[in-house]
Structure 1
Amino acid sequence: MSRRLFLITEFYDSSQNTTGYLFSKLYSFLNSQDDIDLTLIAKRDAQITNQPKALYVRGIEFDKKSIVSRASYELFMGLSFLKNCAQHIKKDDIVFTGTTPILLLIIIHLLKKVIGFKWVLLVHDVFPENLVAAKIIKQHNFGYKLLKRVFDNVYASADDIIVIGRDMKNLVYDKTNHNKITVIPSWIDEEDITLQSKSDNSILTDLGWQGDQKVVFQFFGNLGRVQGISNLMKAIKLMKRAEDAQFIFIGDGVYVDELKSLIGESNNQNLIYYGSVSQENKSIGLNACDISIVTLADGMLGLGVPSKAYYSMAADKLIFTIMDKNSETYQMVEENNIGWVVESSNIEEIAKMLDKAVSDIRTQKYNSPRKTLIDKFSSEVAMNNILDIIRTL
């Protein structure tokens, strides 16, 4: 007899964003298991083909730069998910969710008490601690303390917790004192990212950079509050070998306008904001460099693991990591010799390491990031680990 499993997510298709990519892979894998009766509950997207066995809730548009607009969206989405969850989930079912929309967690927490189902929580964001890191709220604020108390209890009520990094496991354990926390890195299928030489890359061709001998650094992905981009920009100014390097920023987010302003002020022709690329052109974007920059701002330890690192590994790009030395990505890059690591708090050290990377990439030997991904962080291993957790319930 198959066990009923509800996969509940805001995004569910690889064309939407990284969360959609991860959940689409997970949905396909779980849906192929004979002992699982899977139902998807997700936010409807008119641009995407519906899954045959799914329950959809209506979404609304919101302004990412407005905290009020975002809060209104979270409230609307939470209430929308509540109706479907309360109507369809029964006692002894298994529920699998991520951490967005954030109000969904409270809903699942309360429904679990009433209905009695099992809950597996996949943590990509630790709330509300991430609000402090993003400088949206202060740690000593009464509102923050109240939110933390509520969400500590919410996270702790899951039967199993999956986190995507060792540093996150430590933080979530301190938050919940939970004895069933498993580290499973983000699952990227290397076959979804094609390899391409710099000379064949259309983005570098557009920029006239494909024939240059300069080392191309790239920041790819969300340009947000917690990426620590301002320190990177300051460090670039201090480089001694800046003339041998080029920097391209690809993505979107609340920091775009400030980034454009900083690039304009620098008057550096080797510093470019390219814009965003579609999910279909992700491979082209990821291949538009020699070195991928992966950053997190101070205060982000345990709060997130940038999935862009794994995407860049799939493109076989060396990783330049700027973040706390105890973070998952810093340790992964250092342990596997697939790039350079430096802490985010010291701008002069970041500049020195950028200079070192310019020199080292021509003279030092590094392991293949793509092979490291395949050997140690394959999607197949991640999926089977998740399946084992579900089956134990």
Structure 2
Amino acid sequence: MAIFKADKLDVIFSISQPPVLGGLLGVLGKILRKSKFIYNIQDFNPEQIEAVNYSKNKFVINLMRRVDNFSCNKADKVVVVGRDIKETVVKRNKTFYIKKCEVINNWINEKEMYPLPKDSVLAKSFIEKNGLGDKFIIMYSGNIGLYYDLENIIKIVPYFHRYPEICFVFVGEGAKKKEVVEWCNRNNVTNVKFIPYQPKEEIIYSLNAADVYIVTNVKGIKGVSVPSKIYGVMAVGKSILGILEKRSEARNLIEDSNCGICVESGDYEEIKNKIEYLYNIFI
């Protein structure tokens, strides 16, 4: 490991990946190298595991929480990516010194990700290559996984068959993609496209092809994780439909910057209403 090979270390910076072990490795480095330790929490575990019922083994979950609390206490500074995550740190650990925790949002390189007209050559190329024509594109891009509730959100899509101009576009892969695709096939959902992950250098063109962009988290993720896709979407200037819990960091960012509208996670009727509203104000 680099922390044992370097000649002199003033500060060790460790992130919360792999879960729990990332922090513990930072503590180990601090002790052995007699340096300062900054612990950067990107996703909070075991809270993230609990939010989606990934494990119900209370012994393992409680052990993980105790170990991660130990890492937070031993750190000289804890950096979190959301105000809601800071609340979780303090709530979880009653002995924690609150001034030791700082909120620093993640970010995007605005020289690599920026607004382009939807009819620009490369954005238009993405649209034409994927058979999207003149569609009003509602896009989700990223991990189609456990933490985004897409397997339930997809069930509102057939309602929009009455709007032939609308197409829902899901760009990415993940643990829930097969389930979502199979549901669409069984129910003859035709106003949806599934597109593989795009090369990093081409993400700017796929994001700029959208009219409305969905940023979502499953209920229970507030204070645990912040969907990093929001930074790229904000950088390209897209209107956002945030399907997010109140006072979650991503929702705060959308509302503070007035770059979209939000609805509570799990409120599928209101999600449908908000999509209809956005379509009607843009056409």
Pair 1:113 & 2:19 matched = no
Contact 1:238-1:348 within 8 A present in 2 as well: no
Aligned mate of 1:135, from 53, 70, 73:
53
Aligned mate of 1:162, from 79, 88, 91:
79
| 1:227 partner SS | coil
Pair 1:93 & 2:30 matched = no
Contact 2:3-2:12 within 8 A present in 1 as well: no
Contact 2:14-2:25 within 8 A present in 1 as well: no
Contact 1:263-1:272 within 8 A present in 2 as well: no
Measured against aligned partners, the alpha-carbon deviations of 1:53-103 in whole angstroms (never above 9, x if no partner) come to: xxxxxxxxxxxxxxxxxxxxxxxxxxxx4xx4234365x621112211232
Aligned counterparts of 2:73 and 2:160: Cα–Cα separation in 1:
46
| TM superposition shift of 1:331 | 1.9
Contact 2:86-2:223 within 8 A present in 1 as well: yes
Runs of 4+ in 1 over 6 A off after TM superposition: none
- Structure 1: which amino acid aligns with 2:97? H
| 1:273 partner SS | strand
- Structure 1: which amino acid aligns with 2:177? V
- Structure 2: which amino acid aligns with 1:293? I
Give the match for residue 190 of structure 1. 110
Aligned counterparts of 2:152 and 2:236: Cα–Cα separation in 1:
26
Equivalent positions of 1:355-374 (< 5 A) are 355-362=276-283
Aligned counterparts of 2:22 and 2:250: Cα–Cα separation in 1:
28
Measured against aligned partners, the alpha-carbon deviations of 1:279-313 in whole angstroms (never above 9, x if no partner) come to: 12111121121111000001101111111111011
| 1:326 partner SS | coil
Q: Which structure has more RCO (C-alpha within 8 Å, separation ≥ 6)?
A: 2
- Structure 1: which amino acid aligns with 2:176? Y
Q: Percent identity?
A: 29
Distance 1:149 1:242, change over 3 A: farther
Aligned counterparts of 2:32 and 2:136: Cα–Cα separation in 1:
58
Aligned counterparts of 1:93 and 1:248: Cα–Cα separation in 2:
47
Aligned counterparts of 1:309 and 1:113: Cα–Cα separation in 2:
37
Q: Which runs of 5+ in 1 are unaligned?
A: 1-80, 363-393
| 2:254 partner SS | helix
Pair 1:178 & 2:97 matched = yes
Aligned counterparts of 1:283 and 1:169: Cα–Cα separation in 2:
31
Pair 1:353 & 2:274 matched = yes
Contact 2:215-2:229 within 8 A present in 1 as well: yes
Pair 1:122 & 2:40 matched = yes
Pair 1:332 & 2:253 matched = yes
Contact 1:322-1:341 within 8 A present in 2 as well: yes
Contact 2:142-2:171 within 8 A present in 1 as well: yes
Aligned mate of 1:289, from 210, 221, 229:
210
Equivalent positions of 1:143-154 (< 5 A) are 143-154=60-71
Contact 1:236-1:242 within 8 A present in 2 as well: no
| 1:294 partner SS | strand
Contact 1:221-1:308 within 8 A present in 2 as well: yes
